[in-house]
Amino acid sequence: MTAPATDPIFQPLRINGLTLKNRVVRSSMGGRVDYYDGSMSEARIAWERRFAKGGVSAIISSNVGIRTDGIAVPGYASIDDDRTIPSWRRLIDEVHRYDCRYIIQLHFSGRQRDLPRKEFVGIHPPSATDRPDLLYGLRCRRMTIPEIHDVVRAYAQAARRARAAGADGIEIVACNGYLLHQFLSSAINDRRDEYNGDLRTRARILLDVLAAVRAEVGRDFFVSMKLSGRDEHNAYMAPFVRRVGNTIDDTMQLSRWLAEAGLDAIHLSQGDSFPHPLVPAGLLPADDSRYSLAGLFYEGTRVPLTFFLMQFAVLRRIFEWNWGRRMPFKQRGRLLPEKIEGMNQGDAAKLKAASGLPVICVGGWQTASRIRAALEAGHCDVVSVARGLLANPDMVQRFGQGQDAPERPCTYCNKCLVNALLQPLACWEESRFANRDQMFEEAYRIYKEAAVGPASEQAGVGSRAI
């Protein structure tokens, strides 16, 4: 057992205005726990409290819409208006009580908008392109240049609100096929103007956003970006697609420009869509997925056909096979969990070396010895964890007590993910629980926790007009 005083996991780290008490942060996890109009619910506070109590040094919020037409799914707290500031402040104050930092993830979905809010139904979302996405066939429209400038300003205003709410930093989403990545990716961006041509022009909007954000929040506020190391896996599911997208060399070059432009850290993801066979890495549980597809029925041109095919068990097995076909962590149809954990650390090390920036590395982490080894090797500075913490929110506390791995680890089944569109965000892997009832009890616990507490504490939360 490594004593916490010398354990790399428990070494504090300062990055610009952000001080972390240890090297494990909760990665972003979107779940529809808030109100339809984007105002924050008490359940969100109960949800985040769970991870703060469990010992992580920081929490990266779920994706937070900076403008209503960029919200990926209604029912997530947004930051599109100054009226949201007090409810964010209340959440952040609560998380700070556990010596945990809070980072707000600024997000604009672009064409990868899964469920539009009612006022945007039938109105194609803005994007770099007007080609539908590969996975669902989600439609979109190419933005004009004034529209691009408006979005850049919206990022800056959202960053200002985050700082005003007491956040310890922000994370700008530029990965996994969301709006900024739609510009960045050579597999997606097909414009013929100053926002396409080479890597530098595709990166223009990211650099503009960073400059506008810095102008609002100053130099001492923590600003990170979530990037996909490679898009080149985009042919994973569709071998006939030739546009391979950005390579790790492209992302290394980008990381240098971002470092020069004043970015504080990179959060490393992978792939040109969400979900993607590599994010969150693991299985695609097609039996559960078909229910979520029902929610997407009218959004994507490809959804009705996929939905129809998914009604047949044999086709669901083929779909699962195709999803995992080229994964480096599947062998003869079997998942190799040991290959998932830390799968991005090689790319993390490359970005760190290229940019000199601290790198937060995501990807299956849930074992202390593996995290420790990656930190000791200098592959990354911090690890971020989503599903491992969803399964075991007190993981970091247990590492501190000498436990190496959770007794009931995350199985990477991805049932949490595919259910999150229509069902509560929770671990839905029954094998991890004593029985089915216990699974439901655990899933609904945040709603019970949200319901208790003095009325004075709850006043104003859940309403924008605070």
Ligand X SMILES: Cc1cc2nc3c(=O)[nH]c(=O)nc-3n(C[C@H](O)[C@H](O)[C@H](O)COP(=O)(O)O)c2cc1C
Whether 270 contacts 233, CB under 8 Å: yes
Task: Give me Rg for the CA atoms of the chain.
Answer: 21
Residue 26 binding ligand SF4, by CB under 6 A: no
Single-letter code of the amino acid located at 302 = R
Please say which residue, 387 or 432, places its beta carbon nearer to ligand X: 387
**221 neighbors 265 (Cβ within 8 angstroms):** no
Residue 248: name its binding partner from ligand SF4, ligand X, none (Cβ under 5 to 8 Å by kind): none
Label residue 338 exposed, middle or buried (CB < 10 Å: 0-12, 13-18, 19+).
Answer: exposed
206 binds, among ligand X, ligand SF4, none (CB under 5 to 8 A by kind): none
Q: Mark the segment that binds ligand SF4 (CB under 6 A) among 231-239, 317-325, 399-407, 412-420.
A: 412-420
CA-CA distance, 400 to 4, in Å (whole number)? Answer: 6
Residue number with CB closer to ligand X (45 or 191): 45
Among residues 427, 439, 443, 446, which is the contact residue for ligand SF4, using CB under 6 A?
A: 427
Q: Which does 226 bind (CB under 5 to 8 A by kind): ligand X, ligand SF4, none?
A: ligand X
Q: Does the footprint of ligand SF4 cover residue 415 (CB under 6 A)? A: yes
Per CB under 6 A, which of residues 45..64 are in contact with ligand SF4? none
390 is a contact residue toward ligand SF4 (CB under 6 A): yes
User: What residue type is 125 in one-letter code?
Assistant: P
Q: Which one of residues 286, 425, 426, 443 is an interface residue with ligand X (CB under 6 A)?
A: 425
Closest by alpha carbon to 372, among 400, 391, 347, 351?
400
Kindly report whether the peptide bond that precedes residue 125 is cis, defined as omega within 30 degrees of 0. Answer: no
Residue 233: count other Cβ atoms within 10 Å of its Cβ.
22
Residue 227 interacting entry, from ligand X, ligand SF4, none, C-beta within 5 to 8 Å by type? none
- Identify whether the C-beta of residue 297 lies closer than 8 Å to the C-beta of residue 271: no
Are 309 and 317 in contact by the 8 Å Cβ rule? The answer is no
Using alpha carbons, select from 26, 174, 11, 45 the residue that is nearest to residue 460. Answer: 45
Least distance to ligand X, CB of residue 408, Å: 16
70 binds ligand X (CB under 6 A): no
**Pairing verdict, β 334-335 and 58-65:** unpaired
**194-224 as b/e, with b when 16 or more CB fall inside 10 Å?**
ebbeebeebbbbbbbbbebbbebbeeebbbb
**Does 428 interact with ligand SF4 (rule: CB under 6 A)?**
yes
Contact between 364 and ligand X per CB under 6 A: yes
| The binder of ligand X chosen from 125, 363, 393, 409 (CB under 6 A) | 363
- Angstrom distances, CA of residue 298 to CA of 69, 127, 179, 349, 423: 17, 19, 21, 42, 19
Distance (Å, whole) CA 417 – CA 423: 10
Taking CB under 6 A as the criterion, which residues in 211-250 touch ligand X? 226
Per CB under 6 A, the segment of 145-153, 250-258, 346-354, 381-389 that binds ligand X is 381-389
- Asked if 154 touches ligand X (CB under 6 A), the answer is no
Does 410 bind ligand SF4 (CB under 6 A)? Our answer is: yes
Binding ligand X (rule: CB under 6 A), the pick from 86, 125, 280, 462 is: 280
Choosing from 403, 411, 423, 458, the residue that interacts with ligand SF4 (CB under 6 A) is 411
> Which of 246-254, 288-296, 306-314, 363-371 is the region at the interface with ligand X (rule: CB under 6 A)?
363-371
According to the binding rule CB under 6 A, does residue 279 interact with ligand X?
yes
User: What SS3 class is residue 56?
Assistant: coil
Closest distance between ligand SF4 and the C-beta of residue 287, in Å?
Answer: 13
Q: Contact between 27 and ligand X (CB under 6 A)?
A: yes
3-state secondary structure 334-345: EECHHHHCCCCH
Select from ligand SF4, ligand X, none the partner in contact with residue 364, using the beta carbon and a kind-dependent cut-off of 5 to 8 Å: ligand X
109 part of the interface to ligand X, by CB under 6 A: no
Contact residues: ligand X, CB under 6 A: 27-30, 62-63, 105, 173, 226, 269, 279-281, 362-365, 385-388, 416-417, 420, 425
Contact residues: ligand SF4, CB under 6 A: 387, 390-391, 410-416, 427-429, 432
